[in-house]
Structure 1
Amino acid sequence: MALRTEQPGLLTTVQDQGRIGYYNVGIPQGGAMDQESAQTANKLVGNTAAEAVLECTYMGPAFTVDAPTTIAVAGAQVPVLVNGQEQPPWTRLELAEGDAVTFGVLRGGARFYLAVRGGVDVPEVLGSRSTYAIGRLGGMGGRKLEAGDVVPVGCPTGELPAVTELPESLRPALGGAQELRIVWGLYDHLLTEEGRRRLVEEEWRLTPVADRMGLRYEGPGVEWIQREQPFGAGSDPSNIVDAGYAVGSIQVPGGTQPIVLHRDAVSGGGYAMVGTVISADMDLLARATPGTVTRFRAVPMEEALRARRERAARLQEIWAL
């Protein structure tokens, strides 16, 4: 079966758990920005966590199905309409041949995930179906969805779970201010004490410049120490000789607007990384909308590792339903 696209939405792409193992040659891991929501949608339709889904940003697609199928939508708060009738969120939905699915205006969050029983069955590229648009890899020919696209769906391999909707207690909170935990480094020593203080004690606000590569914030700015730049670095104090970037790295070009790198970011470059958002908070970051008031809070590595274990336990609880 397939989904026949009438309207593509603002930015709808095929994503899975990511393209692991090629960061050293400049290909980012990619995958769903909000991994927890993507996995939840897959759980509700009886897929494995690895199956590809549609990641829909701000505005969802409109499509019809050409055979009976099962879908689920998880993530941002968005009205799901089947033949014009609104359906409950975070719930498994059964569709008949010819049913039309559309989406209303977001009520909270930034991205939602559409899982189809059997998974989106586009070819794997370097071990993943995820779309990396800059590199033209994966998904629907390495690009976002377009009107007229026929999205293929695979054959189901697992049983439908007994649970048909995600309990309220396991659904993420959306909207409002955010606190993002970070660990310092590798180049925080290039900030003055005042610069470090501003980053973790002042408020920052997400700008509209926020996509799969990174999210830019505005706020009080930071201060860099005055130093003689090493050979090969740029003239700005935030420049370094090239280094690798971890997913979640925080750059502050020119000392003005921090940028947090997300799943499609380049793997290295010449800006100093003063800290890194911990892996457990990357899903939270993906749910932010422009204007979100944000505080960065520095934590020790022990807390970051504990948060990672807690996130893994929460995902395990979802898959155990």
Structure 2
Amino acid sequence: MAFEILEPGLATSVQDKGRLGYYNVGIPQGGAMDQLSAEMANALAGNSPEAAVLECTYLGPKFRADQDAIIAVTGAPVDIRVNGDACEQWNRLKLAAGDEVSFGVLRGGTRYYVAVQGGINVPVVLGSRSTYALGAMGGFEGRMLRAGDILPVGSADSSLATAPILRSVDESLRPAFEKEVTVRVLPGLYDHRLTEEGLETLLTATWTLTPVADRTGLRFSGPEVAWKPRTQPFGAGSDPSNIVDAGYAIGSIQIPGGKEPIVLHRDAVSGGGYAMVATVISADMDLLARSAPGTKTSFRAVTMDEALAARLEGKLVRSKLWDTSAGDGAGG
């Protein structure tokens, strides 16, 4: 089975849960920017959470199924059409051979996800099917999709054959796509380089997401953040936020020049010479990925215990999608 890409959309790529274990050699985690939405699409399609999906950014693709198929679309709100007829998002959808699927204009957020039963069956590269376009690695030929591409689809996961069918995701479990968000962060490792007023500004100001936002990082505009004066050490640049090179954690916040915070995301580089003044907790990385340019964002400091509790809460939400005691599925 395969999907023929008739129109590629703006930046459509194959993604899964990511390529873990290679960040130390400069290969980022990657994977779906909004992991929860991607997993919900897989749950509806009858896949395991690890199956590869299509990540569609702003303008989605148009594709044709060459055989009967089951798909699901989750994530940012968008109109779905099968042969021109409207269909519901967050539901299990059945396609017949020859059906054409297309999408309208986003009504919020930035990305939505298309899962197909069996998953997108591109080759596994370093443990993942995710596209890392900068490294021309993974996905479909290591790049974003183009018109004329033929995407192979895998076989249904036999281990899920007896699992309850999830026909829709309950609204209480669906992520929101809001214009004002609060993102939780752990201060450090270099927050001591900011003045007291600088750190307070970072954690109390309202920041606006700029259009400079992609899989590598998201840039925010707002007030200037003050740094403590010092003589830069040998090996560091002249910018007050420069340090001697260090490793970056996914979610690190940098403020080059003290003016525009940048949050590193799934395809970020693994190290460099900018101070990381805080790190977005793992539970809120999906929240950031859902933000559209113009989103008003506040950064709120939390403790490590609070960050770990938030991560556990997210795991509990995900577990409900595959809860075999949920009858016909959560909300289905």
TM-score where L is the length of structure 2: 0.96
What's the counterpart of residue 259 of structure 2?
256
Instruction: Give the aligned partner of residue 292 of structure 2.
Output: 289
1:310 is the counterpart of 2:313: yes
Q: Which residue of structure 1 lines up, in the alignment, with residue 272 of structure 2?
A: 269
Q: Distance in 2 between matches of 1:235 and 1:214?
A: 23
1:216-249: per-residue Cα shift (whole Å, max 9, x none)? Answer: 0000020110011111000111000111111100
What residue number does 1:202 align with? 205
Matches within 5 A, 1:91-170: 91-157=91-157, 158-159=160-161, 161-170=164-173
Q: Any idea what SS the aligned residue of 2:135 has?
A: coil
Structure 1 stretches of 4+ moved >3 Å: none
Deviation at 1:155, TM superposition (A): 0.7
What is the CA distance between 1:176 and its match in structure 2? 1.9
Q: Which runs of 5+ in 2 are unaligned?
A: 324-328
Aligned to 1:86: 86
Identity, % of aligned positions: 63
Matched positions, count: 321
Letter in 2 for 1:122: V
Aligned-residue offset at 1:319: 2.0
**What's the CA shift string for 1:270-306, capped at 9, x where partnerless?**
0000000000000000000000000000111111111
Q: Distance in 2 between matches of 1:302 and 1:182?
A: 12
2:58 aligns with: 58
In structure 1, stretches of 5+ residues that fail to align are none
Query: In structure 1, what is the Cα distance between the partners aligned to 2:79 and 2:137?
Result: 31
Local SS of the residue matching 1:59: coil
Query: Quick check: 1:44 aligned with 2:47?
Result: no
State the Cα RMSD in Å: 0.8
Letter in 2 for 1:93: L
Cα distance between partner residues in 2 of 1:63 and 1:14: 14
Query: Separation in 2 of the partners of 1:289 and 1:52?
Result: 24
Opposite residue 44 of structure 1, the aligned amino acid is L
Aligned AA (2:193) = L
Q: CA deviation at 1:172?
A: 1.1
Q: Does 1:236 align with 2:239?
A: yes
- The structural deviation recorded for 1:318 is 1.9
On the 8 A contact 1:43/1:161 being kept in 2, the answer is no
Query: Residue 12 of structure 2 aligns to a residue in which SS?
Result: strand
**Contact 2:184–2:300 (CA under 8 A) maintained in structure 1:** yes
Any idea what SS the aligned residue of 2:133 has?
coil
Farther-moved stretch of structure 1 (170-179 vs 87-96): 170-179
CA distance in 2, matches of 1:119, 1:172: 22
User: How far does residue 161 in structure 1 lie from its aligned partner after superposition?
Assistant: 3.6
Question: Residue 199 of structure 2 aligns to which amino acid in structure 1?
Answer: R
Deviates more, 1:239-248 or 1:311-320: 311-320
> TM-score scaled to structure 1, two decimals?
0.99
